[in-house]
């Protein structure tokens, strides 16, 4: 492959550079929420963004440029709730949640939480430095400190002791631990130490670097080869607080269309159109749920974006009509490179209107991609984003439901794998080279697609992107690019996606079965079993690999895979609700164990288990012929999802996992909603919401808040949604189950609730639903109690006999 070269990082190590470090503060002043520190030839601005966020900005030269990258969305709202005190040799900034001490004799920042714990400290004497165009920040690395986040990185969960570069790169070679950088750059670092956490967001779009104790075990640093030293310190100390505030700064995921959480099938490439229709039929015939089919580059006419190959797809509209009727949504691939072809209308429009990236002398940049010579829209310009966004209208009008933005690092078939760094982006007046804007090219492209789809359609846009920067969660889901059909890559997916989640990107997945290379039945089965519990759920395969549709390797595997895909659909309400929560609090959909158990240091580097939300623990099988594996269960009781067996936590167990089974455990005391699996996701009346209530003798109460809307439109913004709170508590020997209809703005609702009280282990004397005793449940019960109650029920009382059965 020609696009396979990893960019050689020719930048020198910071140790080899003569950085000048800020020393004595010559004077300071205060203006609204900003404190200015003057040095001999630089100025620092400390901006109090909120009670948890302080921005640290150093001027490049004499003047301060306050602008942010497009990653930042939080409005400048002139936060006033802070105090500045002059303590002689120190200044102190105090908010409700942090205290910042500023050393005026020798510049150094120290951040304390509100209880007075030192959370983070600069290296005194070399806290901030500059040399030519480069800038660097150095901080004390505490013993026991761990690092996470940083977007899409290979390797284990904890990044301490490693170094990373942010430079969006198309990497075709196998992704191994030393492969860095990859497609997505998120210069956000999350620190955890003995349960206390903070974050640092380095808002710099140039190539940036993080050294997390690689060269020096007492120090970590981050630097950039250009732009500003501009970072946000984000105080927890609770880890969830950090993520909440980081996503307040860079935005949260909007609610996706619900179907996008279903099963996607893709391959490079399905064509002609009969084959696509046959594929769809095959899913229905084999009773395997599927919501989306992806069309890769062969649907295009000579790889020209926004066209159709008329011999392969003579009637796209008709094909899309049939597919939509059968419940399939089609996602079409789009690349940013526009074929240089004077008879191609998009090229003509772009040239006429000067929409493509140029050199300073006005010459349009040309680079080779799939169509041959290509030109590249300058997405840093609003006018270009509007033009590009409008091009999506024709696809939407035909019936396309989603857009897959590939090759948007941007990838170019040349030595550097991307555009010439001397190419200019106009950025609405703030011109800069590709060196400056490279990392946000995909972010702005996806913004264009998202806004275009929003302008020209009623439905929530679904966009899948390969590259991205901080903030990409506002527009697109991400997949991890060209992985391989390797067991190692199945395993690699877990920490990679977990860290993406901790970087504000909840909607992520890897190609199920592996992209390049030949998959096999066992690998595909194990991959599906894991991916069922991951946010983005797509099987995708390269042009030259063997087929890997769910049925590709015979009935034994197909039967297992079918069950698991159905499980995905049984869990769809639970998963959709996690996206809803993420859209409000920025927490990831899949979570490393430490996010829920931050005081348990045993969880700090667990890279082969994860939680779906807070209540489901998944322990994938990552090796061939492995039928058992070790699982760590944190404190509390856990319930085996398959047989409801109770297991005491704070323990390592050996879990059974024959090929048909993946170890899954439920946090005891929780409530998990399930539905019957359908062929595809549709919102219809008459469904049953099943609530699995995992009772625990040690847990007094539990609750679950259920959100429901049409899963497709923006009407929820106008109040068309339902919010139902379920809760139970023990009242002496009895259980009271309460249903609170907090919001009922949406007409659709479950017909009835099926309540399944698991591990009740008691005889039931009586059951009352809204005060009426029901008859059929009197008498002896086994472990579980199953009750049906209609929508509208408010209270269920369960009266138990004393003692166990
Ligand atoms: O250079 O469109 O990662 O998912 O199938 C290959 C063809 C271009 C790379 C994507 C892959 C996609 C492929 N693309």
- Give alpha helix (H) positions in 533-587: 555-570, 572-585
Instruction: Decide if 409 is catalytic.
Output: yes
Per-residue pLDDT, 784 = 81
For residue 746 the two structure tokens come to: 């949406």
Q: Does residue 800 surpass a pLDDT of 70?
A: yes
Instruction: Decide if 343 is catalytic.
Output: no
Q: Name the residue at shortest CA distance from atom 8 of ligand 1.
A: 407
b vs e for 225-238, b when ≥16 Cβ sit within 10 Å of the residue's Cβ?
bbbbbbbbbbbbbe
Q: How far is the CA of 440 from the centre of ligand 1 (A)?
A: 20
Q: What angle do CA 558, 559, 562 make, to 5 degrees?
A: 80
Per-residue pLDDT, 14 = 77
Among candidate residues 174, 677, 227, 162, the one with its CA nearest the CA of residue 430:
227
Task: Spot the catalytic one: 406, 459, 573, 709.
Answer: 406
Confidence of residue 1 (pLDDT cuts 50, 70, 90): very low
Average pLDDT for 163-181 = 96
Q: Does residue 803 surpass a pLDDT of 70?
A: no
Task: Spot the catalytic one: 47, 291, 409, 558.
Answer: 409
Average pLDDT for 792-798 = 96
Q: How far is the CA of 262 from the centre of ligand 1 (A)?
A: 21
User: Which amino acids bring their CB within 6 angstroms of ligand 1?
Assistant: 3, 268, 296-297, 333, 406-407, 466, 481-482, 515, 540
What pLDDT, in 10s, does the model give residues 458-483?
Answer: 999 999 999 999 999 999 999 999 99
The tokens 């998959």 sit on which residue?
519
Average pLDDT for 408-434 = 97
Task: Spot the catalytic one: 47, 170, 482, 709.
Answer: 482
Per-residue pLDDT, 21 = 96
Atom of ligand 1 nearest to the CA of 269: 5
Contact of 304 with 374, CB cutoff 8 Å? no
Torsion region of 125: left, alpha or beta (phi above 0 gives left; psi -120 to 50 gives alpha): left
Q: How far is the CA of 406 from the centre of ligand 1 (A)?
A: 7
> Which residues have a Cβ under 8 Å from the Cβ of 732 and sit 6 or more positions away?
none
Residue 306: how many other CB atoms lie within 10 Å: 18
Per-residue pLDDT, 41 = 87
Q: How far is the CA of 267 from the centre of ligand 1 (A)?
A: 9
Q: For a ligand 1 pocket test, name from 172, 267, 296, 464 the mutation site with the most ligand atoms within 8 angstroms of its C-beta.
A: 296
Atom of ligand 1 nearest to the CA of 543: 5
**Average model confidence (pLDDT) across the chain:** 95
What pLDDT, in 10s, does the model give residues 182-203?
Answer: 999 999 999 999 999 999 999 9
Atom of ligand 1 nearest to the CA of 296: 2
Estimate to the nearest angstrom the gap between the alpha carbon of 481 and the chain centroid. Answer: 14
Average pLDDT for 107-125 = 97
Contact of 434 with 419, CB cutoff 8 Å? yes
Per-residue pLDDT, 804 = 54
Residue 579: how many other CB atoms lie within 10 Å: 21
Atom of ligand 1 nearest to the CA of 511: 4
Among candidate residues 474, 544, 487, 551, the one with its CA nearest the CA of residue 516:
544
Could you give the percent of the chain with pLDDT greater than 90?
A: 91
Instruction: Decide if 81 is catalytic.
Output: no
């Amino acid at each position: 492959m020609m696009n396979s070269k990893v960019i050689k990082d020719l930048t020198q190590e910071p140790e080899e550079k003569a950085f000048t470090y800020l020393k004595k503060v010559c004077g300071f002043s205060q203006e609204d929420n900003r404190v200015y520190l003057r040095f001999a030839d630089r100025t620092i601005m400390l901006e109090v963004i909120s009670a948890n966020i302080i921005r640290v900005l150093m001027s490049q030269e004499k003047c301060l440029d306050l602008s942010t990258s497009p990653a930042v969305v939080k409005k400048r709202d002139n936060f006033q709730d802070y105090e500045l005190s002059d303590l002689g040799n120190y200044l102190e900034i105090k908010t409700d949640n942090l205290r910042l001490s500023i050393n005026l004799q020798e510049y150094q920042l120290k951040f304390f939480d509100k209880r007075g714990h030192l959370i983070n400290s600069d290296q005194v004497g070399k806290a901030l430095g500059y040399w030519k165009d480069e800038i660097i920040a150095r901080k004390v690395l505490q013993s026991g400190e761990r690092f996470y986040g940083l977007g899409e990185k290979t390797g284990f969960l904890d990044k301490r002791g490693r170094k990373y570069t942010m430079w969006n790169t198309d990497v075709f070679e196998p992704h191994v631990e030393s492969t860095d950088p990859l497609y997505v750059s998120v210069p956000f670092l999350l620190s955890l130490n003995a349960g206390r956490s903070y974050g640092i967001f380095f808002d710099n779009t140039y190539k940036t670097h993080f050294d997390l104790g690689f060269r020096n075990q007492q120090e970590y640093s981050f630097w950039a080869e250009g732009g500003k030293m501009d970072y946000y310190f984000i105080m927890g100390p609770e880890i969830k607080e950090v993520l909440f505030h980081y996503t307040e700064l860079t935005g949260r995921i909007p609610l996706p269309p619900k179907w996008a959480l279903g099963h996607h099938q893709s391959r490079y490439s399905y064509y002609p159109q009969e084959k696509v229709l046959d594929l769809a039929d095959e899913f229905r015939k084999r009773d395997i749920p599927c919501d989306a089919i992806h069309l890769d580059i062969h649907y295009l006419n000579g790889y020209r974006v926004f066209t159709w190959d008329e011999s392969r797809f003579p009637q796209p509209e008709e094909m899309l009509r049939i597919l939509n009727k059968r419940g399939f949504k089609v996602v079409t691939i789009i690349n940013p490179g526009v074929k240089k072809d004077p008879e191609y209308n998009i090229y003509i429009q772009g040239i006429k209107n000067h929409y493509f990236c140029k050199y300073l002398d006005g010459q349009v940049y040309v680079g080779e991609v799939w169509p041959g010579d290509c030109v590249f829209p300058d997405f840093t310009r609003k006018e270009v984003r509007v033009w590009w966004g409008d091009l999506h209208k024709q696809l939407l009008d035909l019936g396309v439901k989603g857009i897959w933005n590939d090759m948007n690092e941007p990838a170019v078939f040349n030595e550097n794998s991307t555009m010439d760094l001397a190419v200019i982006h106009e950025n609405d007046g703030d011109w800069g080279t590709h060196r400056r804007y490279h990392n946000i090219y995909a972010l702005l492209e996806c913004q264009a697609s998202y806004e275009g789809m929003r302008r020209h359609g009623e439905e929530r846009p679904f966009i899948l992107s390969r590259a991205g920067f901080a903030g990409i969660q506002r527009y697109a889901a991400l997949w991890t690019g060209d992985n391989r059909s390797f067991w190692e890559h199945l395993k690699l997916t877990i920490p990679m996606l977990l860290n993406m989640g901790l970087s504000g990107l909840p909607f992520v997945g890897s190609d199920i079965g592996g992209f390049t290379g030949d998959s096999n039945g066992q690998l595909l089965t194990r991959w599906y079993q894991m991916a069922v519990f991951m946010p983005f759920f797509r099987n995708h395969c390269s042009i030259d690999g063997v087929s890997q549709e769910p049925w590709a390797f015979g009935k034994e595997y197909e039967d297992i895979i079918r069950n698991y895909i159905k499980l995905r659909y049984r869990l769809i309400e639970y998963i959709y609700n996690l996206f809803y929560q993420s859209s409000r609090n920025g927490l990831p959909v899949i979570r490393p164990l430490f996010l829920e158990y931050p005081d348990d240091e045993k969880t700090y580097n667990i890279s082969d288990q994860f939680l779906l939300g807070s209540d489901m623990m998944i322990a994938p099988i990552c090796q061939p012929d492995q039928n058992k594996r070790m699982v760590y269960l944190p404190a509390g009781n856990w319930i085996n999802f398959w047989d409801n067996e109770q297991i005491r936590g704070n323990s390592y167990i050996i879990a059974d996992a024959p090929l048909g089974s993946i170890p899954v455990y439920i946090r005891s005391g929780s409530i998990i909603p399930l539905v019957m699996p359908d062929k595809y996701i549709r919102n219809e009346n008459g469904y049953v919401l099943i609530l699995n209530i995992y009772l625990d003798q040690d847990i007094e109460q539990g609750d679950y808040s259920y959100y429901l809307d049409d899963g497709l439109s923006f009407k929820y913004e106008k109040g068309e949604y339902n919010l139902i709170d379920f809760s139970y508590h023990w009242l002496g020997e009895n259980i009271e189950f309460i249903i609170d209809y907090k919001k009922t703005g949406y007409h659709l609702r479950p017909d009835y609730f099926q309540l399944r009280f698991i591990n009740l282990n008691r005889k039931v004397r009586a059951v009352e639903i809204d005060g009426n005793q029901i008859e059929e449940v009197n008498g002896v019960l086994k472990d579980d109690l199953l009750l049906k109650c209609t929508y509208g029920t408010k209270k269920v009382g369960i009266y138990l006999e004393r003692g166990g059965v």
